[in-house]
Amino acid sequence: MAGGLKEFLLRGNVVDLAVGVVVGAAFGGVVTAFTKDLLTPLIAAVAGKPDFSAIQFTLNESKFLVGDFINAIVSFLIIAVAVYYFVVLPINALMERTKKAPPPAAPTTKNCPECLSAIPIAAKRCAFCTSSV
C-alpha cells in the first residue's frame, strides 16, 4: 500500500500540480499587495478618496467593506489577465507549433490510363471511355 502511495505522489503530474499551487498562491499574494499598496492609492488619488480600501457603509450596525471587495475584484482581474497572457497564450502557441499535421486522407479516386479521367479506386472500367482498368 505504501509503495502505491509513494508512486502516486512522485508521479510527475502530482508534483507539477503541487508546484503550480504553491507558485499560484505566492503570485496571488504579490498581486494582492500590488493592488492594496500601489494600485488602490493610485485609483484613490484620481478618484479623490484618501483611502480606497476604507470605503464602507453601515446598515443596521453591520459594516459593508466595499473597498475591500473592490480590491478583491481588481486583484482577481489582474491575476486572470496575467495568467491568460503569461501562461495560457504561450502554452497554446507552443502546443500549436508542436501539433503534428494530420496524415493525408487516403485517395478515393485514380486516373484512367486511357483518358486520364478521375474514376473511383474500386472501378474496373472507366465510366468515360469504357476501357478496362
pTM of this structure: 0.50
Q: What is residue 52's DSSP assignment?
A: G
- Supply the pLDDT for residue 113: 87
Give the pLDDT mean for 109-127.
88
Q: What is the separation of C-alpha 56 from the centre of its chain, rounded to a whole number of angstroms? A: 36
pLDDT band at residue 115 under the 50/70/90 scheme: confident
Collect all residues with Cβ–Cβ distance below 8 Å to 118 and sequence separation of at least 6. Answer: 109, 110, 111, 112
Residues 53/66, Cβ–Cβ less than 8 Å: no
Backbone angles phi, psi at 59, to 5 degrees: -140, 120
pLDDT tens string 29-65: 887 787 777 776 777 777 676 556 677 788 888 888 8
Residue with cell 474500386: 122
